[in-house]
Structure 1
Amino acid sequence: MPVNLTKNAIEAISVGDLNLKPLVQVLEIRPVSSVQERYRILVSDGVDTRQALLAVHLNLKIKSKELRIGSVVQLVEYICSVVQNRQIIVILNMETIMTDCEIIGNPKLSLDANSASQGAASSTITATRQPEVRKIFAPTPKPSTGSPCRSGSSGRTSSSSMSIMSNGNTSLHNPNTNASYKPSPVYKKHGAVVRNEAPAHIIPVAALNPYQGRWAIKARVTAKGDLRRYNNAKGDGKVFSFDLLDSDGGEIRITCFNAVVDQFYELIKVGKVYLISKGNLKPAQKNFNHLKNEWEIVLHATSTVDPCPDDDRSIPERQFDFKSINEIENVENNSIIDIIGIVTNVNPTTTILRKNGMETQKRIVILKDNSGLSVDLTLWGDVCNREGENLQEMLVSGSFPVLAVKAGKVNDFSGKSVGTISTTQLFVNPDTPVTQILIQWFNEGGKDFASHSISRDVVPGSSHNEIRKTISQIKDENLGQGDKPDWVTLKATISFIKTDNFYYTACPLMIGDRKCSKKVTKVASGNWCCDRCDQEFELCDYRYLLQIQVQDHTGLAWLTAFQESGEEILCCSAKNLHLLKYEQDHARFAEIMHSCLFEKYIFKLKIKEEIYGDEQKVKITVVKAEKVKASLENRYLLTAIKDFVFKNSKTQKIY
């Protein structure tokens, strides 16, 4: 079956025609050194050839053998870029027309218009060398039919590229190029386009890659970060970022530093459309950039940011990728997600003290959807007063608004919750199909539906969120081995308490409004001495340091109980117990120690890995201990059974 490659396709691409969609043939495939796996190919129009670079997502065509030496392909999307003074075609999308084919025409190595150094390497493949070329590029046996092309097992033929001739023969050609390509008048009498003078070509955000020369993107600003100041080894500086969305749904973040901040900060407005070019493309810093793009743009002094006079309605105002609340349970900690739900409660604002000593505000908003679950949304900082007060007023007035959260951060402490960060955006009753679905469900009975919270696993009767674990779970889940301690509750029976060293002697001196409580030693004078306070005193305190063995139906564990939790377990002060053992009544001491054995307790535990000498060990500390109360425990078990049945019932995503 004769194949007509697009004539003069290489010349057309070289002078900037990006709408041709030509048919070309692959003469060579080889990998290139890169951070990502990439392939460079040599394409031919039957006369000229040109090096081309495949986009990463096209690698699968090579691995699946759909694209191989000799394949005839149609270039659907591509750009022509200059890399190291060499003109390269960057192929963004293409279709394989014929998988296997003999070499077509007499292709020659083209002289790169932007690199005179290639001239020495350029050569024409003459007819006398044609057998050698076929041996190198396409070691495919000639089909028995005598046709120069054959369709492989995985080959595909584009219907748009096939035409049935009147004589019955089938001819494969490009429908847009029945004749030889003729350059547009704008390119006539012009040589190679100088890189810095070439007009920027508007391309989709998804097509941006570091191999391009001049480019421009047209997109809407969906979010603008605050102006932040920083200090590092290079000195003081300032930075801000903004997010863009184009008409194809592609998103990318742009960052500006120092003098560029002054140039563009006031110009950038959320919701406006801009034409942007001359920026540097760099790998996205995923610690700070949550957008689904492997690249981000850094603007410099010569970058251009031009507001578009006519707002392009083809570019949406915003884009969501909602997860229903039942999906959040399986999302990893610190993930950035979009969620939507009905606001059912807004808690009052509270002030908390951060580790750096600064105060901040916190407010909890509860969202529910028709997956049967609810989740806590934590508002931080000024958002508590702005959006938080607005939501609270709407609830007081009797309405239950739909709240969409874009770029919320997942937290898995004491259950799953979502919190706001600097780039989080909140939208009340957004104009989306999901909003109407939620409102209809809520009005048709969802309002009265008792949803289960994925943010709390509450022990009935307790005022705190508590995650119940077994001893085997503590070990199997490697609790305490992260950067932060784990806080869990455990129902277990005390099986043994060490009675030899159950306390330590402590400093009774006051430091501010609390006791020092550091360990003290007895000196030659008979007094006690505290190294921290650097003082001596006649009497010391006695504080618990209990080593307790507990067990449940899954195994054994050793816990450490200090003063307050020790008193909760033994119902006696450490000082009185010391006097009973060594001075008053040893039998009474033994009775107290045995009184708590084989009793069931609810322990609130802090689990953290610590270093002892040169060895790391997981230390389990008792924060609070209470004897099991039958009524509360029965309520807990009934609730746990109900939740287990509910979670294992079939839930359905709403959008």
Structure 2
Amino acid sequence: MAQLTEGAVQILFDNDLENPLHNNCLVQVINIKSIATTTGSTRYRIIISDGVHFMQAMLATVHATLVEQNELKKFTIIRLTESVCNLAQSRRILIVLQLEVVSNDVGSRLGEPASIDGTTAPKLVAGAPQQQQQQQQQQQQQQQQQQQHAQPLFMQNTASSYSTGGVNPQLESSLFPIKGLNPYQNKWVIKARVTQKSDIKTWANQRSEGKLFSVNLLDQTGEIKATAFKEQVDRLYPLMEEGRVYYISRARVTMAKKQFSTLDNEYELSFDHTTEIEQCSDEQAIPEMNYKFVKIADMDKHEKGALIDIIGIVVEDSGIQEIVSKATGRPTNKRELSLVDETQKQIRLTIWDRTAETFDASGTPTVACKGVRVNDFNGRSLSLSTSGLIKKNPDIPEAKKMQQWYASHGQSSSFSTFTNASANETGSFAPGTTPKLTIQDAKDRKLGENERADFFVVRGTIMFFKNENYSYPGCPDCRKKLIQEVSSWRCEKCQKNHDTPLYKYMLSFSIEDATGHLYLSAFDEAGAPLLKITANEMATLRETDEVACRNVFLDATHKTYNFKIKAFQTVFNDTARTKYQVLEATPIDYIRESQELVADIEKLTV
């Protein structure tokens, strides 16, 4: 039987995040109670014990299913891997964010644990009234100190949301670590350095428009991204300076949008009208930057799309190049740098836009990069993400060591580059072959995640059609989308006007097989045979008989085909996505399919 971690409850009760046992301890659940919430969902309050002490705890909502499926029950031993202690109604309660069930067949309580609340306060003993009074005063003082220690932080209202100055003793005594922030905290203050500040960006769509900016914040325990929107941009953008340290409180803690962040934190902050910021002059205690450098030779160990930090010497600069972005169709500038390090490896790093325009690579500088995306072009290459950061000759020990190595050995060394063979782990197939796979096979082989498209065949059944925006008015000559004018249709490419368009399919639908499902797209040549009606005829039907139009899609579902698919990758908002396009859909020839299946079985029995 697993041994409980003696002393764990005291560590959790004290919210001692620096103790290695805080996020790796074994405790026993000695009681479970369900609690109804105002939203109609059920949460569970538990009591945990380390065999010596016990304390109250609350399970995060994501773990409710463990109780409901009887995986987590009374006397179960669990491993706590992430939690935080909050103050609720003058009592401390542990919020369990992450856990692992170790053993749920114990059947009885281990040890004779006492309440941690009762043992932390001194006990009263018989004696003179004066002695009892002194003991009571000491107990009250200790309880006040415990409440101050446990409370996740309180910041008094001030006339202004921002002030400048030195060290604030009141805030210093109640700072909360970035690593411990979570949505269950109501009141907190962090002391953090702004390691990166973005430009003000604007957006506009059918639902809303506005502007935003973001900052990356760092303290001794971790990093977190914070974003301000709309009117808060005008209020807060002038107040925050990259490299400076601030006290920050009263921001909302939300789940991180990983596609827009390079930081290792599952949460992020959202500044609102209550957010308070105070500049701090004591900056030495907060590190300048937090890097987790990866050696160039170790790039093969990281999957395509992974975000890493890297440091190296710039030995080659391609200069500014203007290209047209595939995602936006707009011109953008890029610069390709060749980096080397002491592992005798060389890799290409691409930087973009204003960073590319302003970067000066003269003098073989050392660069430290944070938030670099790994690609597999030419084996392995790197691209600085939109939220990434590159610093030239940074004042850090790793950079000084790199410069010393290059001056003494590196500049006379030869370096090897990555090849396609070294990174070919995606299971792509030789040119000219179109393998027949299951849906799960295609996903496991990561088809479509290469620089070039992959092709394969899947036998699948159509389960659902998206019956909106399934066609477009096309040009009869070039098939590009037409723009409707007052009395005609205009093709910008051909510079011609047409009386009527030639509608073309742009279908979106899902298929399934025994192993999974896949979302596909199909253009006119592949889409028309599925619906057994042309896009022009469908456009007419849509205007005259909506019920008949819907029935066309219903009649086409639950039909099985062999789909020849092109898998390829697109990038939008710095997020790579794999798309699957149908090139051809052929009905199932069951006689031929059976013969192929028999042949495959015979190969296995040889």
Residue 441 (structure 1) shift: 3.3
Residues in 2 aligned to 1:209 and 1:41: alpha-carbon distance in whole angstroms: 20
Among 415, 429, 454, the residue aligned to 2:379: 415
Among 219, 222, 226, the residue aligned to 1:246: 219
Are residues 327 and 178 of structure 1, via their aligned partners in 2, closer, same or farther at CA, if it must alter by over 3 Å? same
Q: Deviations over 1:385-429 (max 9, x none)?
A: 311xx213x2xxxxx322111111222234321112332221222
Q: 2:122–2:139: 8 Å Cα contact kept in structure 1? A: no
Q: Which position in structure 1 is the counterpart of 2:177?
A: 204
Of 408-417 and 225-234, more deviation after overlay is shown by: 408-417
Residue 79 (structure 1) shift: 3.1
Among 292, 302, 306, the residue aligned to 2:264: 292
Residue 69 (structure 1) shift: 4.3
Q: Map residues 293-442 of structure 1 onto 2, 5 A cutoff.
A: 293-311=265-283, 313-355=284-326, 356-387=328-359, 390-392=360-362, 394=363, 400-442=364-406
Are residues 31 and 325 of structure 1, via their aligned partners in 2, closer, same or farther at CA, if it must alter by over 3 Å? farther
Q: Map residues 599-614 of structure 1 onto 2, 5 A cutoff.
A: 611-612=582-583, 614=585
Q: Which residue identity is paired with 1:408?
A: V
Are residues 343 and 455 of structure 1, via their aligned partners in 2, closer, same or farther at CA, if it must alter by over 3 Å? farther
Q: Which residue identity is paired with 2:367?
A: L
Match of 1:293, SS? Answer: coil
Q: 2:30–2:109: 8 Å Cα contact kept in structure 1? A: no
* TM-score (normalizing by structure 2): 0.53
Residue 82 (structure 1) shift: 4.0
Q: 1:81–1:212: 8 Å Cα contact kept in structure 2? A: no
Identity of aligned residues (%): 28
Q: State whether structure 2 residue 61 is matched by structure 1 residue 90.
A: no
Residues in 1 aligned to 2:581 and 2:76: alpha-carbon distance in whole angstroms: 63
Residues in 1 aligned to 2:186 and 2:338: alpha-carbon distance in whole angstroms: 49
Are residues 195 and 403 of structure 1, via their aligned partners in 2, closer, same or farther at CA, if it must alter by over 3 Å? closer
Residues in 2 aligned to 1:609 and 1:218: alpha-carbon distance in whole angstroms: 47
Residue 471 (structure 1) shift: 4.3
Q: Deviations over 1:450-499 (max 9, x none)?
A: 212227789xxxxxxxxx984498859969953887179xxxxxxxxxxx
Q: 2:249–2:275: 8 Å Cα contact kept in structure 1? A: yes
Residues in 1 aligned to 2:394 and 2:411: alpha-carbon distance in whole angstroms: 19
Q: Which position in structure 2 is the counterpart of 1:52?
A: 57
Residue 269 (structure 1) shift: 1.0
Q: Which position in structure 1 is the counterpart of 2:533?
A: none
Match of 2:399, SS? Answer: helix
Q: Which position in structure 2 is the counterpart of 1:225?
A: 198
Q: 1:283–1:296: 8 Å Cα contact kept in structure 2? A: yes
Match of 2:322, SS? Answer: strand
Q: Which position in structure 1 is the counterpart of 2:452?
A: 486
Residues in 2 aligned to 1:241 and 1:292: alpha-carbon distance in whole angstroms: 16
Residue 368 (structure 1) shift: 1.0
Residues in 2 aligned to 1:326 and 1:58: alpha-carbon distance in whole angstroms: 40
Match of 1:422, SS? Answer: strand
Residues in 1 aligned to 2:200 and 2:309: alpha-carbon distance in whole angstroms: 24
Runs (5+) with no aligned partner, structure 1: 101-137, 143-147, 151-160, 162-171, 395-399, 459-467, 489-515, 519-531, 535-605, 617-655
Residues in 2 aligned to 1:315 and 1:331: alpha-carbon distance in whole angstroms: 30
Among 201, 226, 229, the residue aligned to 1:257: 229
Are residues 174 and 49 of structure 1, via their aligned partners in 2, closer, same or farther at CA, if it must alter by over 3 Å? closer
Match of 1:182, SS? Answer: helix
Are residues 456 and 403 of structure 1, via their aligned partners in 2, closer, same or farther at CA, if it must alter by over 3 Å? farther
Residues in 1 aligned to 2:63 and 2:394: alpha-carbon distance in whole angstroms: 37
Match of 2:241, SS? Answer: coil
Among 235, 241, 254, the residue aligned to 1:282: 254
Residue 207 (structure 1) shift: 1.0
Q: Which position in structure 2 is the counterpart of 1:597?
A: none
Q: Which residue identity is paired with 1:243?
A: N
Q: Which residue identity is paired with 2:354?
A: D
Runs (5+) with no aligned partner, structure 2: 1-5, 20-26, 125-137, 157-170, 423-427, 455-476, 480-493, 497-567, 570-578, 588-606
Q: Deviations over 1:316-340 (max 9, x none)?
A: 0001011111222232222221111
Residue 444 (structure 1) shift: 3.8
Among 199, 210, 213, the residue aligned to 2:186: 213
Are residues 475 and 337 of structure 1, via their aligned partners in 2, closer, same or farther at CA, if it must alter by over 3 Å? farther
Match of 2:319, SS? Answer: coil
Residue 234 (structure 1) shift: 3.1
Residues in 2 aligned to 1:186 and 1:207: alpha-carbon distance in whole angstroms: 23
Match of 1:385, SS? Answer: helix
Q: Deviations over 1:330-379 (max 9, x none)?
A: 32222221111111111122222334443222221100112221110112
Residue 295 (structure 1) shift: 0.7
Residue 204 (structure 1) shift: 0.9
Residues in 1 aligned to 2:54 and 2:478: alpha-carbon distance in whole angstroms: 83
Q: Which residue identity is paired with 1:409?
A: R
Are residues 444 and 304 of structure 1, via their aligned partners in 2, closer, same or farther at CA, if it must alter by over 3 Å? same
Q: Which residue identity is paired with 1:445?
A: H
Q: Deviations over 1:513-563 (max 9, x none)?
A: xxx999xxxxxxxxxxxxx999xxxxxxxxxxxxxxxxxxxxxxxxxxxxx
RMSD in angstroms over aligned alpha carbons?
A: 5.9
Are residues 49 and 391 of structure 1, via their aligned partners in 2, closer, same or farther at CA, if it must alter by over 3 Å? closer
Are residues 197 and 433 of structure 1, via their aligned partners in 2, closer, same or farther at CA, if it must alter by over 3 Å? closer
Q: Which residue identity is paired with 2:47?
A: L
Are residues 517 and 212 of structure 1, via their aligned partners in 2, closer, same or farther at CA, if it must alter by over 3 Å? closer
Residue 434 (structure 1) shift: 2.8
Among 410, 429, 433, the residue aligned to 1:446: 410
Among 42, 48, 56, the residue aligned to 2:47: 42
Q: Which position in structure 2 is the counterpart of 1:154?
A: none
Q: Which residue identity is paired with 1:441?
A: W
Residues in 2 aligned to 1:261 and 1:379: alpha-carbon distance in whole angstroms: 27
Residues in 2 aligned to 1:79 and 1:51: alpha-carbon distance in whole angstroms: 10
Residue 238 (structure 1) shift: 0.6
Q: Which residue identity is paired with 2:361?
A: L
Of 423-432 and 223-232, more deviation after overlay is shown by: 423-432
